[in-house]
Structure 1
Amino acid sequence: MVKPVKKKMAGWGKYPIESCLVYRPESTQDLKKILSSQKEKQIAYGLGRSYGDTALNEDEGISLFNKFDHMLSFDEESGILTCEAGVSLEEIINIFLPRGYFLPVTPGTKYVTVGGAIANDVHGKNHHLDGCFSEYVLEFDLLLASGETISCSRVENTDAFWATIGGIGLTGFITRAAIQLIRVETSYIKATYEKAENLDVAFEKFVENDANFKYSVAWIDCLSTGNSLGRSVLMRGEHALKEELPAKVKEPFKPSKGSVLKMPINAPSFALNPFSISAFNALYYASFKNETKIVDSSSFFHPLDAIDDWNKLYGKKGFIQYQAVFPKSNDPKSGIRKLLERLTEEKCSSFLAVLKSSGPANEGLLSFPMEGYTLALDIPIKDGSLFPFLRELDEIVLSYGGRVYLAKDATIDPETFKKMYPKWEEFKKVKKELDPDGLFSSSMSRRIGLT
């Protein structure tokens, strides 16, 4: 029998830190034994890149999926990959990009498992055109609390499919998935950089040009004020064609970069303050010019992956990543402006503030995106005063009909969650059918009143 080890665990934001019973299963049979013992609640844990307590389980069970990392089959003609749920997006890129295939959707880090990408229904810089990761998931196997494995797709066990998409691991263990890869001619991106002096100009440029670019995102200086509030650098891109590569590029497929730097220790708490981040933001903004150039895909899609353990930049107390979406139908620019104004008023430091446009919502009962704009912020935890401030941000988001991303969240309460995710009752109904005894549960699901 697989025995657990009691261990302190945290998500990527290093808050909260909780004591969990950690299992290391090596096979589906091990997973079935863990479930049949029913000693603790269970949740799957991939590579730990969810920020808060999505994959934590205080005093309960966590099953690590690092041994479920096998590629099972690949159809060269169709580009369909079948793999175990613990396979990482990095592994897929490293193996298939040199063969001319790329992920149809990738989040800001490649250190995410396929199972985690499904459970959090991750999205990327192309959501406005191509939707979430789930758009390219053809089917997956779901191991239920009963020990039965069911196949889920848009035509088979559809209720389970759409409850599991974005369902933060609460319907069962995803063990295998078939996903659609896309063909590319090179591993490079033709990237266009354009500066915007404030939020109004940034929104104008999004509205004017988003449909013309497959990938679109903007870095925002969230500490700029006055006429410069929301000054931005827009970063757009397309997969580069072979004929677009400069002469000095001899090979169309450059190997994907791993981490090239390492953050050895937690940064001291005084290092991150409004003055240091304001100075960094000013230098970062000045470092860009309006231009189009060829860049490698790693630096375009996953720039922070170049720094191993970059979360240590935010110090021992950790940080909150706060990502909210504002619907297109309800003046999203005004909502984002209010958020930025409150951040500057409170001198809430964030190096990373990212604005993206998003396309229509899908059928995932707890999937995050909706048509509109998302703003993501990294906010260091200095002391307890941050948490009432986050509640205030929640109220701003709610007043515009928006919601926060569960994969990033560590603080919302049950009332806020239910307002933000109106399909929660439908989700609970499907979960009850799949997991009648509530075996699958997490610290997050209990905090938000979902289990």
Structure 2
Amino acid sequence: MGTAFESWGRVVRHPRGKAQVTDFTGGAEQGFLAFGNGRSYGDTCHNDRGRLIAMQPGAAISAFDPDTGILSADAGVLLSDILALVMPHGFFLEVTPGTAQVTLGGAIANDVHGKNHHRRGTFGGSVVCFVLLGSDGVRKTCSADSHTALFEASIGGMGLTGIIESATIRLMKVASANVRQTAFRFNSIDGYFDAIDDIDAAHEYSVAWIDQLARGSGLGRGVLMAGDHAEDGGPAKPPSPPKLSVPFSPPVNLLNRLTLKAFNELYYGRAPKQPTTRIVPWASYFHPLDAITGWNRLYGPRGLFQHQSVYPAVNARETTIALIECAQNHGAASFLTVLKRFGDFSSPGLMSFPRPGFTLTLDFANSGERTLKMLDALDDIVLNAGGALNPYKDHRMSPKMFAASFPQWRQMEAMRDPAVMSDFWRRTAMVLSEGEVFASSLDQAARA
């Protein structure tokens, strides 16, 4: 019996995968796709018509130099395993996403970002090189200086250029993994935008939690949490197994408007009114939800949609307000509403999601057609603002929205391994490609 593969959003139940890495060159009518740990929210990690390749079994860290901070590992190794090894030597990931339960290959393939994009860019900036297996059986060591086009297409390329088998990354030296956090609450979205320039200039990390349900003069209120690795943070505890668990999906969504309103009032009310600094454990700052196994099940049996967008700084204040109000007007409640700045960094990846501006993340329990209509309305706001959507948080963006978000998609399609396919690519880029072929044939017929 194969391994159960499921994306984090749980909107669609997926078939069980049976393929192994050695099967990749054998051919498959509907293609292959590497599967890490299923922390992508939508269908970038699925190929339901074809086969998935399990990357975690047997994955191991092969080398770590505690003098230079250079580490090599198989693609299926979790970031939490890397942290467990390197933290006692005073190292940390240069860029860490909101969960450490991501594989190394997945972090590269999605070019994940963290709370310090304004300082260090994306995960791809830490990648020294990786070994890419093509469906022709050829392995290529890709870097900024070797097979450069493949290197750039694979970082943020959602696993479409082949199988990333292993990678070498650069870590950063820190005095302590624990964080010296400065936190304070702001009374409206204006409070965030009025403060963020100074905050980001002074700190390595920053992230804001937003009370998405607040209205009126308090619309967009929240808590801003800036941080730096503490010089006096003391020894940090290595990653530990989760202390809590949601073992099964409840029959209804537990993160509804009623429960979220109570939670938001409590969380906002307990936050300090003035900037307050203290040392906090690294895990609670970077990966708070990793302490709860299966927290995504709280959204009920129909799963959740996450909507993450990025939009230019010039209209960020107005766009953020419009997105929050849109969700409110549709009667939706978002549990995780997070606002961050993306800095002026050029990612090494061809298809990387982060770009200069601000990024807002919202998540919603799946209520069927009502939720889908709201998500379409959110897309329109982002599109009109000149923004983009995050593919690895997506399960339903239209081909039109995808093309607007990633106008370089044709270059990616040219670099895609012909034996690799995903549900996401099939419903976005391939639809666009087929439409262009059809339009071209009509044009040729008209000229004949």
Mark the CA change 1:197 to 1:164 in structure 2 (over 3 Å): closer, same or farther: same
In structure 1, how many angstroms separate the alpha carbons of the residues matched to 2:324 and 2:392? 22
In structure 1, how many angstroms separate the alpha carbons of the residues matched to 2:428 and 2:4? 22
Q: Do the aligned residues in 1 keep the contact of 2:80 with 2:100 (CA within 8 Å)?
A: yes
Residues 1:266 and 2:256 are matched in the alignment: no
Specify which of 344, 350, 362 is matched with residue 334 of structure 2. Answer: 350
Residues 1:14 and 2:10 are matched in the alignment: yes
Please report how far the alpha carbon of residue 166 of structure 1 lies from its aligned counterpart in structure 2 after TM superposition: 0.5
2:113 aligns to what? 123
* Cα RMSD, aligned residues only: 1.6
| Paired residue type of 1:421 | F
SS of the residue corresponding to residue 64 of structure 2 reads strand
1:248 aligns to what? none
1:238 aligns to what? 228
In structure 2, how many angstroms separate the alpha carbons of the residues matched to 1:270 and 1:32? 41
Residues 1:323 and 2:308 are matched in the alignment: yes
Specify which of 63, 71, 95 is matched with residue 105 of structure 1. Answer: 95
Matches within 5 A, 1:64-79: 64-79=54-69
Q: Do the aligned residues in 1 keep the contact of 2:55 with 2:75 (CA within 8 Å)?
A: yes
Please report how far the alpha carbon of residue 258 of structure 1 lies from its aligned counterpart in structure 2 after TM superposition: 2.7
Specify which of 141, 164, 173 is matched with residue 131 of structure 2. Answer: 141
TM-score (norm 1): 0.92
For structure 1, the residue ranges without an aligned partner over 5 or more in a row are 26-30, 246-250
In structure 1, how many angstroms separate the alpha carbons of the residues matched to 2:17 and 2:79? 26
2:51 aligns to what? 61
In structure 1, how many angstroms separate the alpha carbons of the residues matched to 2:127 and 2:239? 23
Specify which of 345, 352, 356 is matched with residue 367 of structure 1. Answer: 352
In structure 2, how many angstroms separate the alpha carbons of the residues matched to 1:50 and 1:22? 20
Please report how far the alpha carbon of residue 230 of structure 1 lies from its aligned counterpart in structure 2 after TM superposition: 0.5
Identity over aligned pairs, percent? 39
| Paired residue type of 2:92 | F
Q: Do the aligned residues in 2 keep the contact of 1:6 with 1:19 (CA within 8 Å)?
A: no
SS of the residue corresponding to residue 71 of structure 2 reads strand
CA distances 1:141-160 after superposition (whole Å, capped 9, x unpaired): 10011110011111111110
Q: Do the aligned residues in 2 keep the contact of 1:21 with 1:59 (CA within 8 Å)?
A: no
SS of the residue corresponding to residue 269 of structure 1 reads coil
Mark the CA change 1:267 to 1:370 in structure 2 (over 3 Å): closer, same or farther: same
Q: Do the aligned residues in 2 keep the contact of 1:41 with 1:439 (CA within 8 Å)?
A: yes
In structure 1, how many angstroms separate the alpha carbons of the residues matched to 2:28 and 2:50? 11
Mark the CA change 1:275 to 1:71 in structure 2 (over 3 Å): closer, same or farther: same
Please report how far the alpha carbon of residue 8 of structure 1 lies from its aligned counterpart in structure 2 after TM superposition: 6.2
Q: Do the aligned residues in 2 keep the contact of 1:86 with 1:114 (CA within 8 Å)?
A: yes
Q: Do the aligned residues in 1 keep the contact of 2:253 with 2:365 (CA within 8 Å)?
A: no
CA distances 1:67-106 after superposition (whole Å, capped 9, x unpaired): 2421111122211001110111000111110111111110
Matches within 5 A, 1:23-422: 23=19, 25=20, 31-241=21-231, 244-245=232-233, 252-269=235-252, 271-289=254-272, 290=274, 291-328=276-313, 330-360=314-344, 361-422=346-407
Q: Do the aligned residues in 2 keep the contact of 1:20 with 1:61 (CA within 8 Å)?
A: no
Please report how far the alpha carbon of residue 40 of structure 1 lies from its aligned counterpart in structure 2 after TM superposition: 4.1
In structure 2, how many angstroms separate the alpha carbons of the residues matched to 1:215 and 1:170? 31
CA distances 1:15-66 after superposition (whole Å, capped 9, x unpaired): 222335432x3xxxxx243322435410011111001111111131000111
CA distances 1:182-238 after superposition (whole Å, capped 9, x unpaired): 111223110111111010111111122211110000000011001100001001100
In structure 2, how many angstroms separate the alpha carbons of the residues matched to 1:265 and 1:423? 41
Please report how far the alpha carbon of residue 426 of structure 1 lies from its aligned counterpart in structure 2 after TM superposition: 1.5
Please report how far the alpha carbon of residue 131 of structure 1 lies from its aligned counterpart in structure 2 after TM superposition: 0.3
For structure 2, the residue ranges without an aligned partner over 5 or more in a row are 434-448
In structure 2, how many angstroms separate the alpha carbons of the residues matched to 1:352 and 1:38? 39
| Paired residue type of 1:239 | H
| Paired residue type of 2:290 | D
In structure 1, how many angstroms separate the alpha carbons of the residues matched to 2:235 and 2:134? 44
In structure 2, how many angstroms separate the alpha carbons of the residues matched to 1:75 and 1:363? 24
Mark the CA change 1:12 to 1:419 in structure 2 (over 3 Å): closer, same or farther: same
In structure 1, how many angstroms separate the alpha carbons of the residues matched to 2:322 and 2:279? 36
| Paired residue type of 2:409 | W
In structure 1, how many angstroms separate the alpha carbons of the residues matched to 2:286 and 2:297? 21
Q: Do the aligned residues in 2 keep the contact of 1:357 with 1:374 (CA within 8 Å)?
A: yes
Of residues 196-205 and 39-48 in structure 1, the stretch that sits farther from structure 2 once superposed is 39-48
Mark the CA change 1:86 to 1:271 in structure 2 (over 3 Å): closer, same or farther: closer
Q: Do the aligned residues in 2 keep the contact of 1:42 with 1:62 (CA within 8 Å)?
A: yes
CA distances 1:362-396 after superposition (whole Å, capped 9, x unpaired): 24221000111000111100222111211111111
| Paired residue type of 2:115 | K
In structure 2, how many angstroms separate the alpha carbons of the residues matched to 1:408 and 1:349? 18
SS of the residue corresponding to residue 72 of structure 2 reads strand
In structure 2, how many angstroms separate the alpha carbons of the residues matched to 1:6 and 1:445? 24
In structure 2, how many angstroms separate the alpha carbons of the residues matched to 1:137 and 1:34? 24
Q: What number of residue pairs does the alignment pair up?
A: 428
In structure 2, how many angstroms separate the alpha carbons of the residues matched to 1:181 and 1:355? 26
In structure 2, how many angstroms separate the alpha carbons of the residues matched to 1:387 and 1:419? 19
In structure 1, how many angstroms separate the alpha carbons of the residues matched to 2:17 and 2:61? 28
| Paired residue type of 1:254 | K
| Paired residue type of 1:48 | G
Mark the CA change 1:22 to 1:349 in structure 2 (over 3 Å): closer, same or farther: farther
CA distances 1:297-342 after superposition (whole Å, capped 9, x unpaired): 00010000011100011111000111100122x4111111100011
SS of the residue corresponding to residue 336 of structure 1 reads helix
Q: Do the aligned residues in 2 keep the contact of 1:21 with 1:61 (CA within 8 Å)?
A: yes
| Paired residue type of 2:422 | S
Mark the CA change 1:222 to 1:151 in structure 2 (over 3 Å): closer, same or farther: same
| Paired residue type of 2:352 | S
In structure 2, how many angstroms separate the alpha carbons of the residues matched to 1:123 and 1:270? 29
TM-score (norm 2): 0.92
SS of the residue corresponding to residue 271 of structure 1 reads coil
